[in-house]
Structure 1
């Protein structure tokens, strides 16, 4: 098993459990795969898919990190394209009773993390990621951020961009700092920013 430095990116569909439990299966079985495919095909910076996790895509990239500006632009693209797809799905399934609930329940959050030693193991046609930092990235999804749609950037990743002017990159909102305890791994510091200002109400709801 090769252990390499790697960027981890996890776009995760928020509201997934509520959506699957409250929405007719015929509709949910169309919507979720379509949104996951949309996330995968919105990738423009050479991220590789390790796993599709039901409500999330586990991307990774080894080698040189992308510029922070390019990485954040990619996250913004994931988000805006996600809502374009939601609008399309709402229109194409308008005849179904629950279609209006699609933008009310579903949203997107994105976790960004960097690990110095991540195992990349071939299994079938994909590469499975292994190591402590893979666990950390998934645990960061269980945070106390007070809104549902955001970019979370671990300090481990942001510290790789110490010379970057961050104010210009996060011009649409306030980048805030927080931390959480990860069992067996201690306190993990991260930064987060609300994605909601990037999509206006008309884009989220066609009613």
Structure 2
């Protein structure tokens, strides 16, 4: 397929590696799939699943994109539903000693990126994404943001929406501008905001 403009959304479970190391396989094999399914079922704006990447889900949407307000609300919903599911899982598996690690270790971060040249191709029954913008989205997961749980909006995404007062979309905290240098990609500028206040009210 020819490259097309595409929204990329990657909800990523933070603490995944530590959780897998701290808990036995019986518990982790129940908890992680349940959380990933919860994220998929919390999708209310028609994002499509390209693939599940261990501790993350690669969503995409091409053609007409949601408004920035709708997109931010969706990400907040992903996060709050994720935390509700953590509480459900801790209670459900309370008889297991390692259940205490469920809310202490696991969290969620979400990367939003807009790519002007994202290729889509069918492999089996799945639609796979490819192209430099997919690389950018995944690189943005590796950053020096001093938080474990946050929403990150790439420069490409904020440029696409051209909001005059971007910070007004985020009533629960301070939206910060930041940049990170990446090999081959150079400096990428983005905005981020911590998610934690959404579950501390």
Q: Place the TM-score, normalised by the shorter chain, in its bin.
A: over 0.9
Paired position in structure 1 for 2:130? 130
CA positional deviation for 1:107: 0.2
CA positional deviation for 1:64: 1.5
Task: Write the deviation string for residues 113-139 of structure 1: whole angstroms up to 9, x where unpaired.
Answer: 010010001111111000000000000
164-173 vs 19-28, which moves further: 164-173
Kindly report which structure 2 residues correspond to 1:1-207, keeping only aligned pairs within 5 A, or say none.
Answer: 1-200=1-200
Q: Distance in 2 between matches of 1:185 and 1:163?
A: 25
Task: Write the deviation string for residues 119-174 of structure 1: whole angstroms up to 9, x where unpaired.
Answer: 00111111100000000000000000001000000010011111354233101001
Q: Per the alignment, in what secondary structure is the counterpart of residue 34 of structure 2? A: helix
Q: Distance in 2 between matches of 1:100 and 1:136?
A: 35
In the superposition, the TM-score normalised over structure 1's length comes to 0.95
Aligned 8 A contact 1:136 1:182 in 2: no
CA positional deviation for 1:24: 1.0
92-101 vs 156-165, which moves further: 156-165
Query: Runs ≥4 in structure 1, deviation > 3 angstroms?
Result: none
Aligned 8 A contact 1:50 1:127 in 2: yes
Q: Distance in 2 between matches of 1:126 and 1:198?
A: 34
In the superposition, the TM-score normalised over structure 2's length comes to 0.98
Q: Unmatched 5+ residue regions in structure 2?
A: none
Aligned 8 A contact 1:118 1:133 in 2: yes
162-171 vs 120-129, which moves further: 162-171
Q: Unmatched 5+ residue regions in structure 1?
A: 202-207
Q: Distance in 1 between matches of 2:95 and 2:189?
A: 46
Paired position in structure 2 for 1:204? none
Aligned 8 A contact 1:2 1:121 in 2: no
Q: Distance in 2 between matches of 1:15 and 1:46?
A: 27
Aligned residues between the structures: 201
Aligned 8 A contact 1:68 1:164 in 2: no
